[in-house]
Structure 1
Amino acid sequence: MNLESLPIDNVLPQLIQQLTVGGAVVLKAEPGAGKTTRIPPAILDAGLAELGNKQPGQIVVLQPRRVAARAAAARMSEERGTALGADVGYRVRHESKASRLTRILVCTEGVFLRRLQDDPLIEDVAVVIFDEFHERSIDGDLALALIAQVRRDVRPDLRVVVMSATLDSAPIASFLNNCPAIESPGKTFPVAIDYLQFPSRAPIEKLASEGVEKIFSATSGDILVFLPGVGEIRETQSALDSFSAHQNVDVMPLYGEMQLQDQLAVLRKGPNRKVVLSTNVAETSLTISGITAVVDSGYARLNKFEPTVGINRLALSRISKAAAVQRAGRAGRTAPGTCLRLWTEREHMALPEFELPEIERVDLSECILQLLAWGENNVDAFPWFEKPPALAIENALQLLERLDAICDGRLTDLGRTMARFPLQPRMARLLIDGAKAGQTERSALCAALLSEKPPFRAIDSATPGSHQTDSDVLEQVRAVENFDAHGIRDSMMGMIVPGAAKQILRTKNQLMRLVEDANLGSDAVTKPLLPGRSGVGAELQLSSDEAVLRSIMTAFPDRICKRRQLKERRAVMVGGKGVSLSEQSNLFDCGLFAAIDLIDLNKSDLVVRRASLVERDWLPRSQIHETVDVVFDTTRQKVVAFKRTRFCDLLLDENITSIPPEVDPGAVLAEAVAANYDVETLVDEQSTAYLNRLICLSNWIPELELPEFGAKPWEAFLPALCSGATSISELKSRSMISAVQSQLSYEQLTSLERDAPEFITIPNGRKVKLQYEVGKTPVLAARIQELFGLRETPRIARSRVAVTMHLLAPNYRVQQVTEDLASFWKNTYPQVRKDLKGRYPKHKWPDDPFQPLEPKAAK
């Protein structure tokens, strides 16, 4: 066969030479350059696919998508003149065209990862080629990291080629031990870009069909339309029926699940002009001959973590600017072309520059499970190409542990079985449990419904609460079963959309084949899969509904909820987050349920749109724990011991019990008082005055080394105050002073009474109480006549502090404030005496204040 000359042909000699010398090469080449179909045969023909023992080895070409894998294998076998499955073959999920003689095997990245599980050293493989690595799928990232480790540790002879259309080659070359990087200049023609004039909210299929009719007369070649998924492809194809008949144009779909012969027919040049309606598989993975115009919807379905369901889903997403450039470039491969973008130039400016790699936007539990199944025990130390966020790894490990896939970071037998399924671990667990209970078909349908968007139109049009159910998910299963068996579209959730329901049924059939391929036997898992029962025979006795309900529960152990009160829609979920059943949920008043579909409306509680019954005796006993917790009960205002039963950290029930002797209730009370009370409100005035004296003394005589006093000084004495107590009322009845004194030495207690006395005796023999306030000097308040005979201001704290004198008139009002009593007698008293003598003539006002008055005789 005479091969068409392609741009990649010019760099093949350089690539072969570099691969021969160094064993690894990074290649950057434009889409359509021919790298996918020319490089593997060139490597084979150069003799680089031989193993160390001179035995023929295999070249494995990894593709992100099934449709690209099949097309690449078919094209290479055609160009080599061999039957597909002989010299060149492919292997994708549920389909294989290969033999033991196959030298070039094209497979998807996920299939290759599972091959690595069975054969970690891939001893029969000589070369691994990563195609379209710029798409940065999580399987591609993991496969590259694993192969790099294999080369470094045990297979230095293993050759690696990483090919990309847009990615920066330098980081990959650095990761592969600074291997050479080659760039193949593309042969492209200019493409005229056109945008919508105004933003449109019309359905994608309407905009796309109108775009095709608009651009049809502007080009003489074929048209490629990029659409998000199969549903939009079918709707657009239907919208173009009359146009295609009138213009004699073939409208052809292109997506991953097509039959190979139908797929190849799209790629070849036909007798009529054609309009190809494609997912993003045609962005870089496939080259379609004759395309001179592109209509771009601007959307794709990307694998993203869906927090509402806790799994990864294909979500409708805006594409990046880089993807838009790649799509437009498909129109300029063979001649000048045109591209109509179904968005405005202003909207284009808001697009992200690049897509985030999958490893940064998806749940990593499936990836981590594959890594553990391969034999890597230290996930944190694993040499990733780009290490995922630490929190994402931590969350993945936590989920795998709750699914019983790992224990203490090691893969369990159940986890090893789950890793055999190319599914997210939640769905793998659901399928395995359902199959073990003899309900493969229903559990597969349940998993399909959880993995896809629900196939119900205007779910709000149904009447929530019209009847109650044991599971919103199981109710959907019943509705789809009814549609499949009898064609009935009406359901309590709303009208079933036939196309979406059929897609779910196709997914169900695929999942059933996975169970069949996995060949689950009674020894596949060593412990009962459905908690509360033991042995496969016991599991088979479960009713169909109960088996599915239990399987749902085991897939969502981190979403088990307990109602706050029966007949109340509010509940608490594992982890402590509050949730509330939405009006869309018809779950009856059960105490426990699994929250399947959660949404965050920026309220205190997450909203549960779909829930499923959980019976308490279904919960795995290994995750149920009983404890005796001694806590402070704010309602009773006392320390109480509760015997509590929990699933993980979710409280199932509690009962009051006696406080264990080894627990100090006083310590619990002290902690609660510090956290929830202003201690001063629990202390009487006498105790407060005592503490104020102590704090003042500490400030005045620091060498006494009294306890440290912070902003809340009573907290330093809380343990002593609360010792032996169990309640706030008991605390209030206690003498706080004795608790403080118990913390002081004899020297400190003696100093307190001597250097910060509670009373001072004045000349008339009366004991006057000093008023202490932290940060100020103490105050002695007495009538002036009582102080006659006191020459100097009293001093305390080893004479370091002078008392502030509040000198009172006979009516006990402050007449004078001084800290220098001698100065007062000498300079101020004469005038004060004159004033007071006139106001209080019956009182004695001697000229000489240094002679004390005779105390009054007691009556």
Structure 2
Amino acid sequence: MNSPREPSGGAFPVDEALPALKDALRARNAAVLVAQPGAGKTTRVPLALLNEPWVRGAKILVLEPRRIAARAAAQFMANSIGEKLGDTVGLRVRFGSKVSGRTRIEMITEGIFTRLVLEDPELKGIAAVVFDEFHERSLDADLGLALALDAQHGLREDLRILVMSATLDGARVAKLLGEATVIESEGRAYPVETKYLGRDARMPIHQEMADALARVAANEDGSILALLPGVGEIRRAADFLSERVRDNTIDIVPLYGALDSDVQDKAIEPSPPGRRKIVLATSIAETSITIKGVRVVVDSGLARVPRFEPDLGLTRLETVRVSRASADQRRGRAGRTEPGVCYRLWDEEQTRSLLPFATPEILAADLTGLVLDLAQWGVHNPATLAWLDAPPTAAINEAKALLTSLGAIDENGAITALGKKLAKLPLHPRLAAMIVRAAGDDNALLAAEIAAVVSERGLGGNDADLSHRVSEFRRDKSRRGEEARNLARRWAESAGGKICETPPAHTGSLLALAYPDRIAKARPERGGAFLLANGRGAKLEQTSALSREDYLAVAEIAGAAQEGRILLAAKMSEAEIAAHFSDKIVQTEEAVFDPKARAVRARAARKYMSLVLSERPLEVEAGDETARALAQGIAALGIDALPLSASVTRWLERLRFLRAAEGEEWPDVSPHVLAKNAERWLAPFLAGKTSLSEISAGDVSNALHALLPHDLSRRLDAEAPDRFTAPTGSELAIDYAAEAGPTISVKVQELFGLSKHPSVAAGKIPLVLSLLSPAGRPIQVTRDLPAFWRGSWADVKKEMRGRYPRHVWPDDPAAAVPTRRAKPRGT
């Protein structure tokens, strides 16, 4: 086999590290390369290793976290050796591959590698696996490395594993790889000046970015890279920016993963002579790719990351501040080809509060796909594999429960025949299960099209109605659209059944097969509001036609888990619910709380999970069930719905104070915790009651006092007494809710003779004394009465004696007799 020509284009900083890297991989089967941005590691290392003796004509796989990075690096390497992409250097990504029998280096995405190693654990014909930009710590990268190490240890001792990164704890990774050698390389970075523009939190980030870019473009030369959290901000910033930038030599170009490769190439390639550009990008532009001509970066400091909500059963995107490592990577984009400047839309002191590194995806993601992949690998316990960060046990158990309910694994965690079918599809197991189930009704193609639109952002447009997106997806003539349709057809064919085009009207009923817990029913009393089958609330813009539907199947939700915003859904009918989920529909008789009537009512209901499909009223019979329903209603309304006497309110404040002062031995009686646990502490005291109006302040007092054991009740009275007894005998209420701490207001004459400052919490917390004049007006606040007597008392006495001559103003108040009275007239 002919060797490729030496790469052209001059030397790169990483070239100096290549001899040491070659030596390390000849001596051992693993190594770590820490190379700074601009070193050239992505494109120089694979070509340099290709003719090493241990390769022996086999392939080198290079894993990239993003398709755009894989494509750009593959094209660059092919160009550098004077060949076409698909010859020595090939590309294998979801939407489009270019490989041939001559291909020796394959640039692939991390998810593609997972599929390859699961199908061929020995990785036949593969000499090395290179994990590039490993610091991004995607779920697929962590899983891929664990599987590669397991294959190396058990099947392929000669397999080389190389982990490369710009910002990484090399020693920690080296230990995972069996004390592998760590090689370091300098980067090619020009000086970058950092300027902080601050942030006005009242202004939307897209508007603030557009304003900043307009100013920067007017004062800086060269092209500009602007980093924003998401596609929505990019589009809105582009609209704002087009109105603010009057220079017709500046092009405004978007860059994000959902764009066609032709549009992405336009963002990466240099501008024509006499022109420059502003590239509005997501974090896709943070690493791996060099955007030619950029010497200015404007960083929003924000990124959008996936966060799995186990209670909701979905992954939602959350906007977060970037880590310091990410901020440094973004800053470095300005110095790749010449000296540059980075503008940050935050204050300089905020940089210190940034997390050092982003949270690895494996610690916050939905692990259902990972657990299915491990089951196919034959691993039931993830702890048997080597991980840089082990997947959390709780998330693993959640994933196992879902896979068991899908029939993908058995109760012992072993993969089933259905699970093997699902694992062949490079999709979330929910979507894969939808396609396989739909194949039984010859709906596999529509299900696969739904899976493509749901899993690939941007396909089919931005309509909230998934059936409309599917229709647009079918009409999409772009290269990406055609490749996605071909891929969907292959998914459908692998599921079996007849392949035929089904009207998009069935979209909702098929989507429900993937997300049965996200079937939603409209709440007629609130426009656009829906209740999900899992018990959570969600809302939809009332301008959407879907907001007027009785039932929806929901694909995507953003925002708070309790009341999320529906981004993507499709209509479905009660008949479709009955047809698909008849085994899950139950008939019940139950007591429920009616928030309008503020009372319990009884009903016979036909239910699917938390959704009431139909109901009829029943007569209410007071008992344990109605007490629990009443308590649940109070939990929803909040503790303020209860009749609380003034003495009980003070009792709660005292208890909250001691918990804050002394810790968790005192029960948490904060309003939200009391509301959340109302069924536990309040329901036993609601026997025979069916409405809020029947609950008395005494009922609430008895229920609350029952929370406190007798010994703590005695300590409460001793350590947080309701009142303070002044030297005169006056009983003064202590305000435990005061912002300054436990406070009493007292006329100063009543404290004469008191030489020690009063305290609570067993002497740990001094009372705040608000000292009053004889007319009840504040004259001083103190936490140290003896110091007040010795110090500022002289000035107070001097001023007050003239105003209140009939009251006592002694020289030594600590030794004087306390009094509530004025001196007799004439004295």
TM-score of the two chains, using structure 1 as the length reference: 0.60
* Inter-partner Cα distance in structure 1 for 2:248 and 2:548: 54
Deviation per CA, 1:294-338: give whole Å up to 9, x if none: 111223333333679733355444322221111111222344321
Residue number in structure 1 paired with 2:423: 419
Q: Is the 8 A contact 2:460 2:471 kept in 1?
A: no
- Note the C-alpha offset of 1:517: 1.9
Residue number in structure 1 paired with 2:305: 302
SS across alignment from 2:379: coil
Q: Is the 8 A contact 1:320 1:353 kept in 2?
A: yes
Matched, 1:371 2:330: no
Matched, 1:142 2:146: no
Q: Is the 8 A contact 2:86 2:98 kept in 1?
A: yes
* Inter-partner Cα distance in structure 2 for 1:569 and 1:485: 29
Residue number in structure 2 paired with 1:518: 491
Q: Is the 8 A contact 2:449 2:488 kept in 1?
A: no
* Inter-partner Cα distance in structure 1 for 2:416 and 2:433: 13
Matched, 1:353 2:312: no
* Inter-partner Cα distance in structure 2 for 1:237 and 1:582: 26
- Note the C-alpha offset of 1:426: 2.3
Residue number in structure 1 paired with 2:84: 83
SS across alignment from 2:296: strand
* Inter-partner Cα distance in structure 1 for 2:470 and 2:89: 41
Q: Is the 8 A contact 1:205 1:236 kept in 2?
A: yes
Q: Is the 8 A contact 1:251 1:274 kept in 2?
A: no
Matched, 1:10 2:16: yes
1:386 to 389, 414, 417: 389
> How do residues 559-638 of structure 1 correspond to structure 2 at under 5 angstroms?
559=518, 577=535, 586=547, 612-615=572-575, 617-619=578-580
Q: Is the 8 A contact 1:85 1:98 kept in 2?
A: yes
SS across alignment from 1:407: coil
SS across alignment from 2:50: helix
Residue 583 to residue 240, structure 1, CA distance change in 2 (3 Å): closer
Identity among equivalent pairs (%): 36
* Inter-partner Cα distance in structure 1 for 2:504 and 2:548: 18
**Matched AA of 2:141:** G
1:554 to 487, 502, 513: 513
Residue number in structure 2 paired with 1:59: 60
In structure 2, stretches of 5+ residues that fail to align are: 1-6, 592-603, 617-623, 630-686, 688-827
* CA RMSD, 1 decimal: 4.9
SS across alignment from 2:365: coil
> How do residues 422-571 of structure 1 correspond to structure 2 at under 5 angstroms?
422-434=426-438, 437-439=441-443, 443=447, 446-447=450-451, 476-477=465-466, 480=469, 512-520=485-493, 524=495, 545=505, 547-559=506-518
Residue 41 to residue 244, structure 1, CA distance change in 2 (3 Å): farther
Residue number in structure 1 paired with 2:195: 194
Q: Is the 8 A contact 1:365 1:396 kept in 2?
A: yes
Residue number in structure 2 paired with 1:469: none
State the structure with more CA Rg: 1
- Note the C-alpha offset of 1:114: 1.2
Residue 622 to residue 369, structure 1, CA distance change in 2 (3 Å): farther
Deviation per CA, 1:611-646: give whole Å up to 9, x if none: 85454643457778999x9x99xxxxxxxxxx9999
Matched, 1:94 2:55: no
Deviation per CA, 1:664-688: give whole Å up to 9, x if none: xxxxxxx99xx99xxxxxxxxxxxx
Q: Is the 8 A contact 1:222 1:275 kept in 2?
A: yes
* Inter-partner Cα distance in structure 1 for 2:201 and 2:529: 40
1:29 to 35, 59, 72: 35
Deviation per CA, 1:808-854: give whole Å up to 9, x if none: xxxxxxxxxxxxxxxxxxxxxxxxxxxxxxxxxxxxxxxxxxxxxxx
1:410 to 405, 411, 414: 414
Residue number in structure 2 paired with 1:321: 324
Q: Is the 8 A contact 2:195 2:343 kept in 1?
A: yes
2:294 to 271, 291, 294: 291
**Matched AA of 1:427:** L
* Inter-partner Cα distance in structure 2 for 1:602 and 1:264: 38
* Inter-partner Cα distance in structure 1 for 2:126 and 2:26: 16
* Inter-partner Cα distance in structure 2 for 1:455 and 1:108: 20
Aligned length: 601
- Note the C-alpha offset of 1:395: 0.9
TM-score of the two chains, using structure 2 as the length reference: 0.62
In structure 1, stretches of 5+ residues that fail to align are: 51-55, 460-472, 487-501, 526-535, 633-642, 656-670, 677-727, 729-859
Q: Is the 8 A contact 2:445 2:488 kept in 1?
A: no
* Inter-partner Cα distance in structure 2 for 1:554 and 1:371: 24
- Note the C-alpha offset of 1:208: 3.5
Give the stretch that moved more between structures: 230-239 or 282-291: 230-239
* Inter-partner Cα distance in structure 2 for 1:111 and 1:400: 22
Residue number in structure 1 paired with 2:712: none
Q: Is the 8 A contact 1:309 1:597 kept in 2?
A: no
Residue number in structure 2 paired with 1:705: none
Deviation per CA, 1:132-156: give whole Å up to 9, x if none: 0000010000000000000011100
* Inter-partner Cα distance in structure 2 for 1:350 and 1:238: 32
**Matched AA of 1:310:** G
Deviation per CA, 1:416-469: give whole Å up to 9, x if none: 33323332222333344446544567546655675589999999xxxxxxxxxx
* Inter-partner Cα distance in structure 2 for 1:214 and 1:601: 35
Give the stretch that moved more between structures: 144-153 or 551-560: 551-560
* Inter-partner Cα distance in structure 2 for 1:66 and 1:31: 19
* Inter-partner Cα distance in structure 1 for 2:194 and 2:145: 36
SS across alignment from 1:192: strand
SS across alignment from 1:359: helix
- Note the C-alpha offset of 1:290: 3.8
* Inter-partner Cα distance in structure 2 for 1:164 and 1:268: 26
Residue 35 to residue 449, structure 1, CA distance change in 2 (3 Å): closer
**Matched AA of 2:73:** A
SS across alignment from 2:509: helix
* Inter-partner Cα distance in structure 1 for 2:300 and 2:181: 38
SS across alignment from 2:286: helix
SS across alignment from 1:411: coil
Give the stretch that moved more between structures: 90-99 or 374-383: 374-383
- Note the C-alpha offset of 1:542: 9.4
Residue 596 to residue 482, structure 1, CA distance change in 2 (3 Å): closer
Q: Is the 8 A contact 1:229 1:301 kept in 2?
A: yes
Deviation per CA, 1:571-603: give whole Å up to 9, x if none: 99777x57688896757668xx86766789798
- Note the C-alpha offset of 1:288: 3.1
* Inter-partner Cα distance in structure 2 for 1:84 and 1:436: 40
Residue 519 to residue 652, structure 1, CA distance change in 2 (3 Å): closer
**Matched AA of 2:421:** T
* Inter-partner Cα distance in structure 2 for 1:109 and 1:540: 32
Residue 596 to residue 301, structure 1, CA distance change in 2 (3 Å): closer
Residue number in structure 2 paired with 1:170: 171
Deviation per CA, 1:354-396: give whole Å up to 9, x if none: 2111112221112222232344344454433321111111111
> How do residues 216-255 of structure 1 correspond to structure 2 at under 5 angstroms?
216=217, 218-237=219-238, 246=247, 248-255=249-256
Give the stretch that moved more between structures: 131-140 or 415-424: 415-424
Q: Is the 8 A contact 1:206 1:239 kept in 2?
A: yes
- Note the C-alpha offset of 1:36: 0.5
* Inter-partner Cα distance in structure 1 for 2:90 and 2:46: 12
* Inter-partner Cα distance in structure 1 for 2:566 and 2:43: 49
Residue 100 to residue 570, structure 1, CA distance change in 2 (3 Å): closer
Residue number in structure 1 paired with 2:810: none
**Matched AA of 2:388:** F
Residue number in structure 1 paired with 2:120: 119
